[in-house]
Chain A
């Protein structure tokens, strides 16, 4: 049941992607028409039907998408959208009712996750449908506008939307090559085994650095804990629960500093229409470094 609904959710994602492809193909002022519509159509196929296709074929399709993006063949179309005066006027007319559908996504997602066995992702999908119905009721917009607006928004996010999956795939290839073992062996052979301060620093900084490479603290945690954390910190008398908990959040400091965590740092920059796609990371780096230092201090004082 849950898996069927989950696949249905991905089919819905695929439909949104097909809509973007349709607008790219039929848009009057679309640049790179073929490349752009091909990109979104392939992404739609992978979302909707990828589960049932041979994985190497999906891999080939991903290479085609990556090629289109790398050679700048995916462009944002020019969409008609209502002028600012229209939005101002509607904001006044409709008033605070506009917030109801926006908040309904979160409320429905939370309700489904909390009170059913369906999980948070299915909850988000149900929330999205509820929100769409409510927003049509509140604004009295037509389906044509829905299609245009979702096409416009997705094209705005652009090719960055496949980065998170590509990076996850890169992580899988790093694992196949045992990259983590090479790194943690390097760290633990360089450092003396009995210096607690150096050990704690290596564990925290190692988590942050390897998370920056992998883009994912979960992937880094097992590798760095086994290679660095156990010999240099846990075996030196640290409270394992405290040290490991802090090591994980030390890894999150790495997440804040890396473009490899694309869904948090790069895709979101496109969503906020930032001109500098590294702006979110630039703002996060000072905070992440301060927090990383605090992690080292906390681990030294709380775990020992």
Chain B
């Protein structure tokens, strides 16, 4: 049971709203000691895992281009373009993005990303659409819109990817099941992932369109 000390530290740390990085490092060191590792072994594990997981933040390389485009008006242009289309609302835009992102993921097209798409294009478009259909967003609504835009990327990314036969998730499932003595075809796993991909697009659309209604109600009150 002592081995679960890391989990306890994580839960307490998040509940008490302590600094996330400090909590994670302390939990890691405590778990390492509980597993009987020396301090040097813990450092080695830490360094090794950090190096092999550098891929998680390769978005760094896209920052120069995105930064320059933003400072020359990319977001303003995106908002302007959407502003001309009266039928586009923030909710419809995010629902459409999630559907396209899911479809792209199912075809293993890597089209998406919080840095590449949401921040420079989708979010300003959604803000433009909100301004167009409703009033200027207040700070609370803007925060909510940003949260939903960030969520749209995740919904689309997660539930579509296993529909692709050679995706990492499908290959892992086939590999793990084989080790456990169950032989399954990758195609069967991919097919079994289709219903939830469609359902996720629909359920998230309900959330996005609900945000439109919320904005409309707010507008009516003013």
Contact = CB atoms under 8 A, between A and B. Distances in A.
Contacts of A197: none
B168 A240 contact: no
17 contacts: A13-B61, A50-B50, A59-B44, A66-B22, A72-B19, A91-B76, A94-B77, A110-B111, A141-B72, A150-B64, A166-B50, A177-B34, A234-B182, A244-B182, A244-B189, A248-B162, A298-B195
Interface string B127-170: 00000000000000001101111110111011100100000111
Nearest to B18: A70
Which bracket fits the contact residues of B? 35 or more
A117 interface: no
B154 A280 contact: yes
Interface string B187-209: 01110110110011001100100
B16 interface: no
The residue in B21, B43, B44, B115 that gathers the most chain A C-beta atoms within 10 A of its C-beta is: B21
Nearest to B21: A69
A33 interface: no
Contact of A173 (B45, B149, B185, B195): B45
A252 B64 CA distance: 31
Interface in A43-96: 46-47, 50-51, 53-63, 66, 69-70, 72, 81-82, 86-92, 94-96
A230 to B, nearest CB: 6
Interface stretch (B25-33, B85-93, B213-221): B25-33
Q: Is the interface of A mostly helix, strand, loop or mixed?
A: helix
Q: Is the interface of B mostly helix, strand, loop or mixed?
A: helix
B19 A230 contact: no
B142 to A, nearest CB: 9
Contacts of A53: 47
Given A46-B51, A55-B51, A87-B73, A244 B177 contact: yes
Nearest to B158: A252
Contacts of B60: 12-13, 16-17, 47, 154, 161
The residue in A131, A217, A268 that gathers the most chain B C-beta atoms within 10 A of its C-beta is: A268
B147 to A, nearest CB: 4
A252 to B, nearest CB: 4
B12 interface: no
Given A230-B180, A294-B199, A153 B4 contact: no
Contact of B7 (A56, A164, A213, A276): A213
A198 interface: no
A31 B157 CA distance: 37
Nearest to A154: B63
